[in-house]
Amino acid sequence: MKLIKCHIENFGKLSDFTYDFTDGCNTVCEGNGWGKSTLAAFLRVMLFGFRNEGKRDPLENERKRYSPWQKGVYGGELQFESEGKQYSVRRTFGSKSAEDEFQLRSEEHTSELQSL
């Protein structure tokens, strides 16, 4: 699998943030508190969902931990390639998993993949 692009509407402290991945190794070199760990968590959550949702402690419960600081739509979009085909996954999160929305699209079925 190859990551192509991500757009974060709101996730933790990151808001209206877009990152275009390049071939090879991608390095995000920013200062402490910028949101590097938040970006890594966003990528994992977009593909696999939140961890520890049953925990009460907001530091352990990722859904609570990464709830947007500035409010607004909680989630974003991730473009990736797998086995030569491009896909786009879009997720928005609510306060509970029952309120989440998930869309997976392949390039063949939509032209929206090229614009996040």
Maximum C-alpha span of the chain = 42
In terms of Cα–Cα distance, which of 49, 43, 60, 52 is closest to 6? 43
Q: How confident is the model at residue 115 (pLDDT cuts 50, 70, 90)?
A: very low
Please give the Cα distance from 38 to 26 (Å, whole number).
Answer: 16
Rounded mean pLDDT, 72-99: 95
Closest CA to 14 of 57, 50, 65: 65
Region 77-84: mean pLDDT is 95
Q: Quick check: 45 pLDDT over 50?
A: yes
Mean of pLDDT values over 64-86:
93
The predicted pLDDT at position 109 comes to 55
Q: Comparing C-alpha atoms, which of 35, 66, 29 is closest to residue 51?
A: 66
The model's pTM: 0.85
